[in-house]
């Protein structure tokens, strides 16, 4: 462009503003006596006309030496990010109702929902966030003692604990998606006392766990010993029952053997008696036959029988002597 002194006061060459897909510009334009505002979203390359200028944001910025400390008017920029953001912040001088002062560490996640509402309702959203979260944390801690605060710190990761923060963010066109509690830090002296107390509680807890494990081990040993005793008693009972069963079977077998022996003895005695009766019957028959034969021959039976008596008596005496010498064979 040629600088015509009749038309131009000055001509300056500047870089065009380049926008990515997650960035936007707030552009103002003056026509006549009116000023218009428009939002330019990326990706784009913006070159202003003679009557256009960009909105400059002037927000709290992070201290280069401490990411949890924010400095007023330290962050100046033109391109506004539209993607979700996060910030670290430590709420200082938080006091419980028993006068314990501490520093609560937080990490907050937020997202821009309405740029127009943000431009109309605030000049520095970060300052609004800091003031609101400080109010919520101080109100939360002031209602409880230090020991109660220590037990309820998990609630600091719940968005319901930050009603002022959520309401203020919604009012200025933002939304908080999450707040993460990162711990707390009391004074050095109190922290030393707290560390000692934590050490003592941890030691007691570990001792209790050790004692519990020892008790569990002793209980386990006792249980196993009882199981072994029960198994041993069951084995002994089974062995005793088996011995009784064997004794019973042995006795039954012995009784059966004795019964068979007695029956065999009775059978032998009956056979012996039958044999004696048979012998006697045969002898008598022979004697009768002999007498009948002698009678047929005309022998005087009376004299014969009388003559046979001494011999018979002698035979009976002989049998008696033999019986005394050998009663079994006789």
Q: How far apart are CA 83 and CA 174, in angstroms?
A: 11
In the chain, the percentage of residues whose pLDDT exceeds 90 is: 47
Mean local confidence (pLDDT), 305-317? 61
Predicted confidence at residue 323, as pLDDT, reads 56
24-37 core/surface letters (b: 16 or more CB in 10 A; e: else): bbbbeeeeeeeeee
For the residues 256-266, what does the mean pLDDT come to?
Answer: 86
Confidence of residue 77 (pLDDT cuts 50, 70, 90): very high
Q: Annotate 203-231 with DSSP letters as a single string.
A: HHHHHHHHHHHHHHHHHHHHHHHHHHHHH
Give the whole-angstrom CA distance, residue 78 versus residue 27: 10
182 pLDDT band (50/70/90 cuts)?
very high
Question: Among residues 51, 70, 47, which one has the least CA distance to residue 60?
Answer: 70
Lowest mean pLDDT among 85-99, 114-128, 176-190: 176-190
CATH architecture entry for 56-186: 2-Layer Sandwich (3.30)
Residues of the chain with pLDDT > 70, as a percent, come to 91
- Domain residue spans in the chain? 56-186, 300-330
DSSP 4-69: -TTT-S-----PPEEE-TTEEEEEEEEETTEEEEEEEESSEEE---TTEEEPPEEEEEEETTEEEE
pLDDT at position 320 over 70: no
| pLDDT confidence of residue 314 | 55
Is 310 a residue whose pLDDT tops 70?
Answer: no
Position 128 scores a pLDDT of: 96
Instruction: Give the pLDDT of residue 19.
Output: 94
Do the beta carbons of residue 152 and residue 143 sit within 8 Å?
Answer: no
Residue 284 has pLDDT above 60, yes or no: yes
CA angle (17 as vertex; 12, 23 as ends), nearest 5: 160
Calpha distance 23→294 (Å, rounded): 165
**What is the average pLDDT across 11-39?**
91
Q: What average pLDDT does this structure show over 287-299? A: 77
Mean pLDDT of 204-221: 89
pLDDT of residue 201: 80
Residue 79 has pLDDT above 90, yes or no: yes
Q: Is the pLDDT of residue 330 over 50?
A: no
Listed residue (87, 107, 110) closest to 175, CA to CA: 110
In whole angstroms, how far apart are CA 96 and each of 69, 164, 314? 22, 19, 143
pLDDT reading at 117 higher than 50: yes
Phi/psi region, residue 183 (left: phi>0; alpha: psi -120 to 50; beta: rest), is left
- pTM, rounded to two decimals: 0.58
User: Residues 6 or more apart from 316 whose CB is under 8 A from it?
Assistant: none
pLDDT of residue 154: 92
């Amino acid at each position: 462009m040629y600088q015509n002194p009749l038309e131009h006061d000055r001509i300056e060459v500047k870089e065009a503003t380049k926008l990515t897909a997650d960035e936007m510009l707030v552009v103002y334009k003056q026509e006549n006596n009116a000023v218009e505002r428009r939002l330019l979203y990326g990706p784009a390359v913006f070159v202003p006309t003679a009557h256009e200028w960009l909105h400059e944001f002037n927000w709290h910025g992070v201290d280069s030496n401490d990411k949890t400390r924010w400095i007023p008017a330290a962050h100046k920029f033109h391109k506004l990010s539209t993607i979700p953001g996060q910030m670290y912040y430590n709420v200082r001088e938080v006091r419980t109702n028993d006068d314990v002062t501490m520093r609560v560490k937080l990490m907050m996640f937020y997202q821009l929902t309405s740029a127009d509402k943000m431009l109309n309702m605030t000049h520095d959203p970060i300052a609004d966030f800091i003031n609101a979260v400080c109010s919520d944390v101080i109100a939360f801690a002031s209602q409880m003692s230090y020991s109660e605060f220590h037990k309820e710190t998990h609630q600091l990761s719940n968005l319901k604990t930050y009603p002022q923060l959520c309401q203020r963010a919604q009012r200025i066109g933002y939304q908080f998606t999450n707040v993460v509690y990162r711990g707390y830090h009391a004074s050095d002296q109190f922290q030393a006392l707290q560390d000692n107390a934590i050490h003592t509680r941890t030691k007691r807890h570990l001792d209790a766990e050790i004692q519990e494990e020892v008790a569990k081990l002793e209980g386990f040993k006792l249980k196993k010993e009882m199981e072994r005793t029960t198994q041993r008693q069951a084995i002994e009972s089974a062995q005793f029952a088996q011995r009784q069963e064997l004794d019973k079977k042995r006795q039954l077998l012995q009784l059966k053997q004795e019964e068979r022996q007695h029956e065999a003895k009775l059978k032998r005695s009956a056979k012996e008696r039958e044999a004696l009766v048979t012998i006697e019957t045969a002898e008598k028959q022979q004697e009768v036959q002999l007498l009948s034969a002698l009678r047929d021959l005309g022998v005087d039976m009376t004299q014969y029988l009388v003559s046979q008596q001494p011999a018979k008596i002698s035979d009976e005496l002989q049998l008696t002597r033999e019986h005394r010498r050998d009663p079994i064979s006789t």
